[in-house]
Amino acid sequence: MGKIKLITMSRDFGTDIDDLIRKLSQEIKGEVLDREKLYAELEKLGISREKIERNGELSKEEKEEFIDLYKEGIRKVVGNYLEKGMVFLLGRGGQFLYQGEDFVFHINVIAPLNYRVKYLCEKYPLSQEKALELIKEKDLQREIYYYSFFFSDWKDPYLYHLVIDKSFFSDREIEELIWKVLEKEEVPVPALEQLSFPTKPTFANESEEEFAKILSFYQIKWEYEPRAFPLEWDSEGQVLESFSPDFYLPDFDLYIELTLQKPKLISEKLRKIRKLEELYPDIKIKLFYGKEYKKLLAKYGIRIG
């Protein structure tokens, strides 16, 4: 057996992966913990299904206490089964409970809406409208569950090692993918100092660093002075003048130039930007300067200069 002892399975309603997991689990004499089985085990620990499902009615303090108890309970139940062998945990927030643990593998099974509707209509005698209604209802229940117990969004792809689109892979292919996970052998984890990390750029001034922090806060990807645009060449083709905008936002294909200088002091910069726009008409660039830039920073509580 490989290094993975527990697989958490998150799945969209209408993708129906559970039978496949049960079959796979039987083959390796593992255990599938679905909601029913988990709740039955939790009952034995004194955690009732009713309280789990009606946790929203508890007071803030009671809720916090109960959520801790619930999570602890799941870990205890899963831990007991892990002593006997491989465990597949279906739903219930396993991706949050066991995030970052090296013996656990997180899978999310998704499918486009039309696939899910068609699947439900074919599996059960449902109209398309009813199937869609059911999907909406179940998605909402799921969203509420994750927010109530984990304050998180299960759609975050970083929670999973593998996201499988059920409409793209056959059951057999999915089974093969999971087998690969089960067979994955223990590999030494490199020490932190062996890994290479990006280095923080050297900003020209404090305000640029603050601007970078604001962009990072809003999860906007940025690059600092990634490119110099040649503006003038000599007869030999040597670049005589170039311009490097301060920031580039790749998701918006946008360059940003910042300066705290007053308008009358930035005529040289404005000339360069005009030239850049003439030479590279497809480049989008925005300039924030002087008082306007200070106002922009002040909006975020940053006072400079």
Partner 1 sequence: MGEKIGKILFTKEEIERRIRELGEEISRDYARKEPILVCVLKGAVYFAVDLTRSLTIPFILDFISILSYGSSQEDQGVVRILKDLDVNIYGSDVLIIEDIVDTGLTLSYLLRNFQARKPNSLKICTLIDCPGRRIIEVNIAYKGFEIPDSYVVGYGLDYKEKYRNLPYIAVLDD
Which residues are near partner 1 by CB under 8 A?
113, 132, 135-136, 139-140, 143, 147, 155, 213-220, 249, 252, 254, 256, 286, 288, 292, 295-296, 298-302
**Alpha carbon distance 71, 64 (integer Å):** 11
DSSP 3-state of 285: strand
Count other C-beta atoms under 10 Å from residue 77's C-beta. 22
Identity of the residue, 105 or 248, whose beta carbon is nearer to partner 1 in the bound complex: 248
- Termini Cα distance of the chain: 62
**Alpha carbon distance 108, 12 (integer Å):** 8
Identity of the residue, 213 or 227, whose beta carbon is nearer to partner 1 in the bound complex: 213
Q: At closest approach, how far in Å is the CB of 290 from partner 1?
A: 11
The structure tokens 């946008």 sit at 254
**Alpha carbon distance 136, 128 (integer Å):** 12
Could you tell me which residues are beta bridge partners of residue 229?
Answer: 243
Identity of the residue, 49 or 138, whose beta carbon is nearer to partner 1 in the bound complex: 138
Identity of the residue, 105 or 293, whose beta carbon is nearer to partner 1 in the bound complex: 293
Considering only CA atoms, give the Rg of the chain: 27
Using CA of residue 171, residue 176, residue 177, residue 181, what is the dihedral sign?
Answer: positive
Identity of the residue, 58 or 287, whose beta carbon is nearer to partner 1 in the bound complex: 287
Q: At closest approach, how far in Å is the CB of 247 from partner 1?
A: 10
Q: At closest approach, how far in Å is the CB of 255 from partner 1?
A: 12
Q: At closest approach, how far in Å is the CB of 51 from partner 1?
A: 22
Q: At closest approach, how far in Å is the CB of 37 from partner 1?
A: 28
